Amino acid sequence: MPVIKYPRLRDPLFYEWDRKAQKCGLRHTIYAVNGDQYTGEWLDNLRHGKGTQIWKSTGEIYSGDWKFGKRDGYGAYSILDPETKDYKRVYTGWWENDRRCGRGTFFYPNGELYEGEWSNGVRSGWGKMHYKDGSTYEGQWLMDQPNGPGLLQLPNGNRYDGGWKDGKKHGPGKFFYPDKGQLLEGIWVADIPKCGVLVEFGREEAPAPPELPLPEIKLQDPAGVLAEAQAMFDDSHN
């Protein structure tokens, strides 16, 4: 005998309850089962728009833009100091797909600071790093390491301006020693100068020049020597 199904006069109550539970638009604070809380805008039951999320287990807080449940846009991320119970800013800047991406400023626990570009959560692009010893690096980054042209300035005034690779001096560059009144121009490989020309540079104004001046070495063509070394360097890396 065939079974005949008649249309329902109304849907069960849980359908109505489910529709009402779908968060959309601006809401007051919503608490998760684990104690996390979010205050802000929603779309299709996902955090979307402006909002603030607080993670109960870690005390972390993010306030800014959201897109389909992930941090996306401009926002600030902070952590709770267990001793002072105050929030300490960790990162302020742009996000994409829940990762740091675009321009932003990162505050490290040891007092160091990075201002610049990010990609997929790591330093990548142009940026400036302030180290705790007082030195700074400004230049290109790739995969969280100095990579490409960049300028390193040391606390004593000495500075290196040249190429970098995987966080080390690599390629043609100039190392200025204002404290000694000297300049080294040459080729570096993995932080080691392989060849170059050392010349006097402002020796009269240098605070601690060497006791004896550099011996005079007559070269037919100093620029040609460096050009030849550059060509050898390029050939070895092609």
Task: Collapse the DSSP code of 158 into the 3-class scheme (helix H, G, I; strand E, B; otherwise coil) and give the result.
Answer: coil
Q: What span, in angstroms and rounded, lies between the C-alpha atoms of 34 and 52?
A: 16
- Residues of the chain with pLDDT > 70, as a percent, come to 77
Q: What span, in angstroms and rounded, lies between the C-alpha atoms of 45 and 81?
A: 32
C-alpha distance from residue 78 to each of 54, 90, 144, 191 (Å): 10, 5, 21, 36
Q: What span, in angstroms and rounded, lies between the C-alpha atoms of 19 and 40?
A: 19
Residue 30, pLDDT score: 87
Residue 171, pLDDT score: 95
Tell whether the model's pLDDT for residue 14 goes beyond 50.
Answer: no
Instruction: Look up the pTM and report it.
Output: 0.78
Tell whether the model's pLDDT for residue 199 goes beyond 70.
Answer: yes
Ordered by where they begin, the domains of the chain are 19-106 (2.20.110)
The alpha-carbon radius of gyration of the chain (Å, integer) is 29
Tell whether the model's pLDDT for residue 220 goes beyond 60.
Answer: no
Residue 233, pLDDT score: 58
Q: Is the Cβ–Cβ distance between 78 and 88 less than 8 Å? A: yes
Give which of 55, 56, 53 is closest to 64, Cα–Cα. 53
Q: Are strands 70-80 and 87-96 parallel, antiparallel or unpaired?
A: antiparallel
Tell whether the model's pLDDT for residue 187 goes beyond 80.
Answer: yes
Q: What span, in angstroms and rounded, lies between the C-alpha atoms of 102 and 118?
A: 5
Taking residues 151-168, report their average pLDDT. 96
Structure-model confidence comparison of residues 4 and 14, the more confident one: 4
Q: Is the Cβ–Cβ distance between 53 and 29 less than 8 Å? A: no
Residues 91-132: tens digit of each pLDDT = 999 999 999 999 999 999 999 999 999 999 999 999 999 999
